[in-house]
A and B are shown apart, each in its own frame.
Chain A
Amino acid sequence: MGWQTWELAGRSLTSRLLLGSGGVSSAAVLSECIEQSGTGVVTVSMRRAGASATSGLLPAIQESGVEVLPNTAGCRTAREAVLTAQLAREALQTDWVKLEVVADDRTLLPDVLELIDAAEQLVDDGFRVLPYTTDDLVVARRLQDLGCAAVMPLGSPIGSGLGIRNPHAIELICDEIDVPVVLDAGLGTASDAALAMELGCSAVLLATAVTRAEQPALMAAAMRDAVAAGHAALLAGRIPKSTLARASSPTTGLVGT
């Protein structure tokens, strides 16, 4: 049921919503979104630092009592991603990494060859690797087989809000993959998150759908409810689809018969 815990990369989590901090307007808004979303995990990126460029982001995340999940966003090669992950481990004292290796700025689509190379190196180096990948089952299976702790296929391009463009591909990955499948990227609104869960995803990771909504905290609450509803619907077992009607009222004892 929705309140039962599940396992992700060695941690026990209650919420099946992972929240990205990308696009958030302030630490205060992030705190509010974390609270309203009910999430147990928040992602951050790693960027070159100036001495005075302290941000309130980490205190906000730590005060919320959630796990921090560093990503390798912006990396184009396995080499860059591995170094970024190692820097994140040193800075944040975590062996978790959301592995992103993208091909270009226009699509931000995963470069799966570099991704698999980086994942192998990081698994060997003791990381718990959560790779952002395409909705290709064969790639997902490779990532699982080399030791990734989850696979995180996209619904549609990062930040696009286009939702899940190929539900069949996501459902196939959920059916065939044993590690948790986390739908990552492209979600726009609550029904997208519910669909991901109904298709069988273990969880949903989203950022801009919440942080760039007109009212981020309200969308965070909507996403919390949608993820819980979608997961409950999956467990409940939906009725089969039919091309014709099937009466729900008794078909006997009708007036005039």
Chain B
Amino acid sequence: MADTFRLNGDARPLRPDTTVSTMLEQEGFDGAWFAVALDGAVVPSSAWAKTAVQPGAEVEIVRPAQGG
């Protein structure tokens, strides 16, 4: 069975050698004002290129939305 990871709760196929940077590119994220957590810890943007996304990883990507 192919490796997968979860992005905001949804299963995704995991390509070999995926980093946070390549994952964001594949998923179409660019621009500002979002942040990434990997397995419950924030990954600062300075570390995206060198942080591997492992099989079974839980990735959260959040942006600001309206809120009181």
Contact = CB atoms under 8 A, between A and B. Distances in A.
Interface of A: 20-24, 30, 43-55, 57-58, 68, 70-71, 73, 83-84, 86-92, 158-159, 185, 205-208
Q: Which one of B9, B29, B66 has the highest number of Cβ atoms from chain A below 10 Å of its Cβ?
A: B66
B11 interface: no
A71 B29 CA distance: 23
Given A87-B35, A92-B33, A45 B42 contact: no
Contact of A51 (B28, B36, B41): B28
Contact of A87 (B8, B29, B60): B60
Q: Which one of B31, B40, B42 has the highest number of Cβ atoms from chain A below 10 Å of its Cβ?
A: B42
Interface of B: 8-9, 27-29, 31, 33-37, 40-42, 44-45, 60-68
Contact of A57 (B27, B29, B34, B66): B66
Contacts of B62: 46-49, 84, 87-88, 91
Contacts of B29: 49, 51
B63 A55 contact: yes
B61 A43 contact: no
A88 B65 CA distance: 11
Given A57-B66, A88-B64, A91-B34, 15 more contacts: A43-B67, A44-B66, A46-B62, A47-B62, A51-B28, A53-B63, A54-B63, A55-B64, A83-B41, A84-B62, A87-B36, A90-B42, A91-B33, A91-B62, A159-B68
A44 B64 contact: yes
B67 to A, nearest CB: 3
